[in-house]
């Protein structure tokens, strides 16, 4: 079977489904109870269903995913690592998608042309590595990874890994799709299993029906408000109940996509008629037929629905009939309010009420239905003589969606009220946005239908307050130009001074005339890999071959300096920002110059500054880290709660390692980042007593003891020596398995892979 093409072959799906009956039976027998849907998919993909660990949140387990997907910003480092393993080709079907490196400036066509110029070296590298190692390559302009995966590769009951935190988007089609760091994908591409903790399972019970102005996005905004940014950590969030069928497949994908914001391993919906419709509309009728045959395996066991509390670690109830449109933000995706309550918040918190930009799209919300609903609002506005009062930008999720919404006139509807259409790419969602309407430091408000709103995320300006809502909410707000107007209830001020009341949006969930594939942009791998040369120019500023990190010296760590103590939120966007830095994602030395530049350090004012303990001077953290490294001074970083929230970028773990960081000691970690640290040989230690965070001072030295006896589940002792001669001893736990400990000893997981291949 050739699984390297532009879509998942039916034979692959057939093979996976063929395992279900026996494996589900084994699962039920071993657990002695009915199964949730997530558990069925996990048993179907277990390395060995007979021996796999069963205890959720405790046991580590090996899984065999069906696919891997990489995007251009993470693929570079992942493939540089894969190349050093010396293997001839990838062991599982893998694709690379060029989406993150396109900067939004003028509009789709010119922006893609510019990206081709500016990034030619990187694209050429990704194209040739893909051709050589058996990887399918989606060229720039073909779309955002998650939308393309949903359209082409995702299938109910499958399992995949993606080097991007929003990979769970494919859960909208019932897949266990996990976002991981590049190094985790390297394991799987190299033929190893994916090793992770057996996830907990949170059930979200949906009753009622979505209707009116309420969109799928509002479901996840509500869930984020309930569970908060760490509530999903270590868990699969599984939606169930009668409300699921009122949501389209792409709407379900929106909900699963943004489950990344609550730290979930992934989110998923059961297979239903809406999934079948979507598969058919995207030319995968045979997969829909197969899924229908196995449908009873592609959902929870009926007993679970009857008594969910017995089977889920937690159950959240949402009645879709009562759900209102929501808006979350600024600065965090769990600061959630119904649109009707935003006015009070604006008054209380003094948020600028005028919207400087409204943005629709991203991998989260750019389906045919999303754009259709936004366009319906636009048509009504046009008919009432309205145009947008804030500039409105649209990013289609894929070339297929773009070509189809263009053909069906939906783009015209949006352009008619003043919207501009950007490339099929991440663009402003990841700081690839050249805006010139404000100066850095200007306080301003934007509304987006994206998924993240950390400070600096969209335009590099920490004073931009980003609020997130559904596409129709964003368009409604672009019409009023203000976040403090409840356009649903109060209407939009019309040209004659009268309020225009807009009807709730309605749109086809799938194009009546079918999808137009547009200029699809897929390149299959080379038949003969020997004919392909992969070039990394010496002296390149964008690509650099990797040198192995040194192995552990065999002794306890002692005399480590405290480079910084992160105060409050420290996401991967704070540790290794994106935007202009995406340029260096294939060059470890160069990208390390952004290390910790967004962090608020408890010991120094501003962002990204640290105190040089040698002379008390304050300097940018990347400079300080580099100087310490040159002077042979090793260091630790102290983290607050949910350290490393957000992206899967492993640069946020490789950079500290490369710059002499040996450990990160935090109150708690986000899942993907903690895994990334372990992969790169950095100790990720959690303070047993979170209060001990207070004990670390700027001029301390830190020892980590007991490393020779490092063992799973066994805490280590951290000794904090203060400058006044006093000391504190604190206990730190870790989540290292035997395998992770081996990585630490070898210097990194990649070093182990190199030794074994």
- Number of helices followed by number of strands (H, E) in the chain: 26, 30
Element spanning 7, H or E: none
Contact at 8 Å (CB) between 591 and 615?
A: no
- Minimum CB distance to ligand MIC, residue 444 (Å): 21
d(CA 75, CA 53): 31
The answer to whether residue 649 is catalytic is yes
- Give min distance, CB of 244 to ligand MIC, in A: 25
Residue 647 in the binding site for ligand MIC (CB under 6 A): yes
Maximal C-alpha separation, the chain:
78
Task: Give the whole-angstrom CA distance, residue 638 versus residue 652.
Answer: 14
Q: Which stretch binds ligand SF4 (CB under 6 A): 50-58, 424-432, 716-724, 739-747?
A: 424-432
- In 667-751 the beta strands, taken as DSSP E runs, fall at 683-687, 701-705, 716-721, 727-733
- The reply to whether 164 sits near ligand MIC by the rule CB under 6 A is yes
Is the preceding peptide bond at 330 cis, omega within 30 degrees of 0? yes
8 Å CB contact between 532 and 680: no
Residue 166 in contact with ligand MIC, rule: CB under 6 A: yes
Nearest to 140 by CA among 162, 115, 117, 164: 115
Q: Does residue 326 belong to the site contacting ligand MIC (CB under 6 A)?
A: no
Give 450 or 454: the residue with its C-beta nearer to ligand SF4.
450
Q: Within positions 465 to 504, which residues make up the interface with ligand SF4, using CB under 6 A?
A: none
CA dihedral 6, 81, 582, 744 (to 10 degrees): 130
Torsion of CA 419, 420, 421, 425, to 10 degrees: -110
74 binds ligand MIC, rule: CB under 6 A:
yes
Give bridge partners of residue 203 from the DSSP assignment: 238, 315
Task: Using alpha carbons, list the distances in angstroms from residue 140 to 113, 126, 129, 469.
Answer: 9, 11, 16, 27
**Nearest distance from residue 410's CB to ligand SF4, in Å?**
20
Residue 177, contacted partner among ligand SF4, ligand MIC, none, CB below 5-8 A by kind: none
Query: CB under 5 to 8 A by kind: which of ligand MIC, ligand SF4, none does 342 bind?
Result: none
Q: Which of 188, 430, 485, 624 binds ligand SF4 (CB under 6 A)?
A: 430
CA distance 486 to 342: 8
Q: Which stretch binds ligand MIC (CB under 6 A): 158-166, 341-349, 636-644, 741-749?
A: 158-166
> Cα separation of 36 and 302, whole Å?
9
Among 70, 198, 342, 426, binds ligand SF4 (CB under 6 A): 426
Give the contacts of 724 (CB within 8 A, at least 6 positions apart).
none
Closest distance between ligand SF4 and the C-beta of residue 571, in Å? Answer: 13
Whichever of 169 and 751 has its CB closer to ligand MIC, that residue is 169
Q: Are 678 and 197 in contact (CB under 8 A)?
A: no
Is residue 649 part of the contact set for ligand MIC (CB under 6 A)? Answer: yes
Of 177 and 704, nearer to ligand SF4 (C-beta) is 177
Burial readout 435-456 (b: 16 or more C-beta within 10 A, e: otherwise): beebeeeeebbbbbbbbbbbbb
Task: State which residue, 389 or 673, has the beta carbon closest to ligand MIC.
Answer: 673
649 binds, among ligand SF4, ligand MIC, none (CB under 5 to 8 A by kind): ligand MIC
- Cβ-contact 224, 323 below 8 angstroms: no
Closest CA to 404 of 578, 281, 572: 281
Q: Does 373 bind ligand MIC (CB under 6 A)?
A: no
Binding mask 571-600 for ligand MIC (x = CB under 6 A): -------x----------------------
166 binds ligand SF4 (CB under 6 A): yes
Q: Which stretch binds ligand MIC (CB under 6 A): 163-171, 242-250, 327-335, 718-726?
A: 163-171
352/355 Cα distance (integer angstroms): 8
Q: Are 493 and 500 in contact (CB under 8 A)?
A: yes
Q: Quick one: DSSP state of residue 594?
A: G
- Interacting positions 171-200 with ligand MIC (CB under 6 A): 179
Region binding ligand MIC by CB under 6 A among candidate stretches 38-46, 162-170, 229-237, 372-380: 162-170
Residue of 647, 648, 737, 748 with catalytic role:
647
Q: Which stretch binds ligand SF4 (CB under 6 A): 425-433, 486-494, 556-564, 688-696?
A: 425-433
Nearer to ligand MIC by Cβ, of 402 and 452: the residue is: 452
| Distance separating alpha carbons of residues 620 and 636, to the nearest angstrom | 16
List the structure tokens of 479: 């019409």
Q: For ligand SF4, which is the closer residue by CB, 42 or 253?
A: 253
Helix (H) or strand (E) holding 338: strand 336-338
The smaller minimum CB distance to ligand MIC, of residues 225 and 586, is found at 586
311, 300, 277, 310: which is closest to 157 by C-alpha? 300
Residue 360 CA to residue 475 CA, distance in Å, equals: 8
586 forms bridges with which residues in the sheet? 543
Shorter beta-carbon distance to ligand SF4: residue 135 or 144: 144
Interface residue with ligand SF4, options 4, 380, 451, 470 (CB under 6 A):
451
**Binding to ligand MIC by residue 648, rule CB under 6 A?**
yes
DSSP for 687-698, written as a single string? ESSGGGGGG--T
- Report the distance separating Cα 605 and Cα 680, nearest Å: 30
165 lines the binding site for ligand MIC (CB under 6 A): yes
Residue 452 bears catalytic tag: yes
Q: Work out the number of other CB atoms within 10 angstroms of the CB of residue 33.
A: 15
> Quick one: 24 or 599, whose CB is closer to ligand MIC?
599
Catalytic residue among 23, 66, 67, 99: 99
Select from 210, 363, 653, 654 the one that contacts ligand SF4 (CB under 6 A). Answer: 363
Rounded to an integer, what is the distance from CA 76 to the centroid of its chain? 17
* Binding partner of 362, given ligand SF4, ligand MIC, none, CB within 5-8 angstroms per partner class: ligand SF4
Which residue out of 23, 45, 97, 100 is catalytically annotated?
Answer: 100
3-state secondary structure 151-189: HHCCCCCCEEEECCCCHHHHHHHCCEEEECCHHHHHHHH
Q: Choose, from 649, 657, 662, 671, the residue flagged as catalytic.
A: 649
According to the binding rule CB under 6 A, does residue 129 interact with ligand MIC? no
Contact between 564 and ligand SF4 by CB under 6 A: the answer reads: no
Catalytic residue among 164, 272, 370, 408: 164
Length of the chain: 757
Sign for the CA dihedral angle at 208, 209, 213, 218 comes to positive
388 binds ligand SF4 (CB under 6 A): no
User: 452 or 626: whose CB is closer to ligand MIC?
Assistant: 452
470 is catalytic: no
Q: Does 369 bind ligand SF4 (CB under 6 A)?
A: no
> What mask, x for binding ligand MIC by CB under 6 A, covers residues 375 to 414?
----------------------------------------
99 catalytically annotated: yes
Is residue 429 part of the contact set for ligand SF4 (CB under 6 A)? Answer: yes
Active site residues: 99-100, 164, 452, 647, 649
Residue ranges binding ligand SF4 (CB under 6 A): 100, 144-145, 164, 166, 362-363, 426, 429-430, 450-451
Residue ranges binding ligand MIC (CB under 6 A): 73-74, 100, 164-166, 179, 430, 452, 578, 646-649
């Amino acid at each position: 079977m050739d699984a390297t093409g532009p879509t998942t072959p039916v034979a692959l799906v057939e093979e996976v489904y063929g395992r279900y009956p026996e494996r589900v039976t084994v699962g039920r027998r071993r657990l002695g109870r009915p199964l949730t849907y997530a558990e069925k998919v996990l048993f179907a993909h277990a390395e060995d269903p007979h021996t796999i660990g069963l205890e959720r949140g405790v046991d580590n387990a090996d899984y065999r995913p069906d696919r891997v997907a990489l995007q251009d910003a993470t693929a570079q480092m992942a493939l540089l690592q894969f190349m050093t393993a010396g293997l001839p080709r990838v062991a599982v079907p893998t694709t690379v998608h060029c989406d993150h490196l396109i900067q939004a400036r003028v509009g789709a066509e010119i922006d893609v042309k510019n990206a081709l110029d500016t990034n030619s070296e990187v694209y050429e590298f990704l194209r040739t590595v893909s051709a050589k190692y058996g990887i399918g390559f989606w060229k720039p302009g073909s779309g955002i990874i998650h939308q393309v995966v949903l359209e082409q590769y995702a299938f109910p009951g499958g399992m995949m890994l993606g080097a991007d935190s929003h990979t769970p988007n494919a859960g909208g089609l019932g897949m266990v799709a996990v976002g991981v760091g590049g190094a985790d994908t390297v394991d799987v591409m190299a033929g190893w299993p994916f090793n992770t903790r057996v996830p907990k399972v949170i059930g979200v019970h949906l009753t009622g029906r979505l209707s009116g102005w309420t969109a799928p996005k509002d479901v996840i905004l509500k869930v984020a408000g309930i569970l908060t940014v760490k509530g999903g950590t270590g868990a699969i969030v599984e939606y169930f109940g009668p409300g699921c069928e009122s949501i389209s497949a792409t709407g379900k994908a929106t909900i699963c996509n943004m489950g990344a914001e609550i730290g979930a391993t992934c989110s998923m919906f059961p297979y239903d008629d809406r999934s079948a419709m979507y598969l058919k509309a995207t030319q995968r009728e045979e997969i829909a037929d197969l899924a229908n045959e196995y449908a009873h395996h592609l959902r929870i066991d009926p007993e679970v629905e009857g008594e969910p509390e017995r089977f889920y670690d937690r159950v959240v109830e949402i009645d879709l009939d009562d759900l209102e449109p929501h808006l979350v933000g600024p600065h965090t995706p769990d600061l959630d309010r119904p649109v009707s309550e935003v006015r009070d918040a604006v008054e209380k918190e003094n948020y600028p009420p005028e919207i400087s930009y409204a943005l629709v799209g991203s991998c989260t919300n750019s389906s045919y239905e999303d754009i259709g609903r936004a366009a319906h609002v636009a048509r009504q506005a046009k008919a009432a003589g309205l145009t947008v009062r804030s500039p409105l930008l649209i990013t289609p999720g894929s070339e297929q969606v773009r070509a189809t919404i263009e053909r069906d006139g939906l783009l015209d509807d949006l352009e008619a009220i003043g919207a501009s259409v950007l490339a099929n790419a991440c663009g402003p969602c990841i700081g690839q946005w050249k805006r010139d309407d404000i100066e850095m430091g200007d306080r301003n408000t934007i509304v987006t239908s994206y998924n993240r709103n950390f400070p600096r995320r969209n335009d590099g300006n920490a004073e931009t307050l980003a609020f997130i809502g559904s596409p129709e909410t964003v368009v409604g707000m672009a019409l009023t130009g203000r976040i403090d107007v409840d356009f649903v209830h109060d209407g939009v001020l019309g040209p004659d001074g009268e309020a225009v009341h807009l009807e709730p949006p309605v749109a086809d969930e799938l194009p009546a005339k079918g999808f137009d594939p547009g200029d699809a942009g897929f390149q299959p791998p080379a038949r003969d890999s020997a004919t392909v040369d992969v070039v990394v120019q010496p002296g390149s500023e964008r690509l650099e071959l990797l040198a192995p990190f040194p192995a552990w010296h065999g002794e306890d760590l002692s005399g480590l300096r405290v480079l910084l103590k992160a105060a409050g939120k420290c996401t991967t966007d704070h540790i290794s920002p994106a935007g202009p830095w995406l340029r260096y994602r294939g060059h470890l030395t160069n990208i390390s110059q952004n290390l910790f530049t967004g962090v608020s350090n408890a010991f120094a004012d501003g962002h990204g500054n640290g105190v040089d303990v040698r002379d008390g001077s304050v300097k940018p953290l990347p400079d300080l880290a580099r100087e310490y490294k040159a002077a042979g001074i090793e260091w630790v970083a102290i983290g607050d709660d949910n350290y490393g929230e957000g992206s899967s970028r492993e640069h946020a773990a490789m950079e500290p390692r490369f710059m002499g960081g040996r450990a990160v000691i935090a109150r708690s970690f986000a899942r993907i980042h903690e895994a990334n640290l372990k992969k790169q040989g950095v100790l990720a230690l959690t303070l047993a007593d979170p209060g001990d965070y207070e004990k670390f001072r700027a001029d301390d030295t830190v020892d980590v003891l007991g490393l020779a006896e490092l063992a799973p589940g066994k805490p280590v002792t951290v000794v904090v020596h203060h400058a006044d001669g006093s000391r504190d001893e604190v206990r730190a736990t870790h989540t290292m398995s035997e395998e992770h400990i081996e990585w630490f000893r070898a210097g990194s997981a990649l070093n182990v892979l190199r030794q074994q291949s």
